[in-house]
A and B are shown apart, each in its own frame.
Chain A
Amino acid sequence: GDSVTQMEGPVTLSEEAFLTINCTYTATGYPSLFWYVQYPGEGLQLLLKATKADDKGSNKGFEATYRKETTSFHLEKGSVQVSDSAVYFCALTTSWGAGSYQLTFGKGTKLSVIP
């Protein structure tokens, strides 16, 4: 079945440091890829997405490029802020025989940014 593997945390960075969170996937179909962010005590918010190979999703300074050849969708940000502290989830969705498009999530990576 489909699966998502992302780097284990927690990740602790100083403010203005460069961030990379690795994400790789296996999928039987041709997936769309997502990054969601979860702040403490809240639900998930869509951060960015990409629907086809070589697409780059970007939002709030975060970027991720859909790499079909390496089945990866790594999240990057050039300069993190304290307010970026959260749990980040990589996810994918593929078409499914009965018409269901469930999201498959990685386990999440907790990011802490210190001043």
Chain B
Amino acid sequence: NAGVMQNPRHLVRRRGQEARLRCSPMKGHSHVYWYRQLPEEGLKFMVYLQKENIIDESGMPKERFSAEFPKEGPSILRIQQVVRGDSAAYFCASSPRGQGATYQETQYFGPGTRLLVL
């Protein structure tokens, strides 16, 4: 069973460029979460998506960041006009379905994309 796949593993961008991070969930999983890990910090929630729907984007910066999870293909986290403060590790996690009130499901994490903005 392939786990959560993320690519690229490492991404270098200059200030002002765009960064596109991809996440393919585990087979059979239709729910995707994105988290950001700043140096020496824990992971912070960014966005939760189902196929073709953004369910919760309360952790997303209001500008320059967007996410999608199309009907076909991977989930994409897009950062426009990157700045040095965007340098971080970005992790994607997937689960088989949304977690119901009586059944807490586990999120499975990918290896992350380490973004460096020069």
Contact = CB atoms under 8 A, between A and B. Distances in A.
B partners with A: yes
Contacts of A89: 42-43
Interface stretch (B13-21, B67-75, B78-86, B96-104): B96-104
Interface residues of B, number: 29
B55 A46 contact: no
Given A46-B106, A95-B101, A102 B45 contact: yes
B76 to A, nearest CB: 18
Contacts of B105: 101
Contacts of A104: 45
B42 A45 contact: no
B110 A103 contact: no
Contacts of A93: 99, 104, 107
A34 B109 CA distance: 13
Contacts of A108: 41-42
**Most chain A CB neighbours (cut-off 10 Å) among B4, B43, B98:** B43
A45 B110 CA distance: 9
A98 to B, nearest CB: 6
Given A89-B43, A102-B56, A46 B108 contact: yes
Which size bracket describes the interface of A in this complex? Answer: 20 to 34
B111 A42 contact: yes
Interface string B1-43: 0001010000000000000000000000000010100001111
Interface string A89-111: 10001011011111111111000
Contacts of A36: 109
A105 to B, nearest CB: 4
B59 A102 contact: yes
Interface in A1-52: 4, 32, 34, 36, 42-46, 49, 51
Interface of A: 4, 32, 34, 36, 42-46, 49, 51, 89, 93, 95-96, 98-108
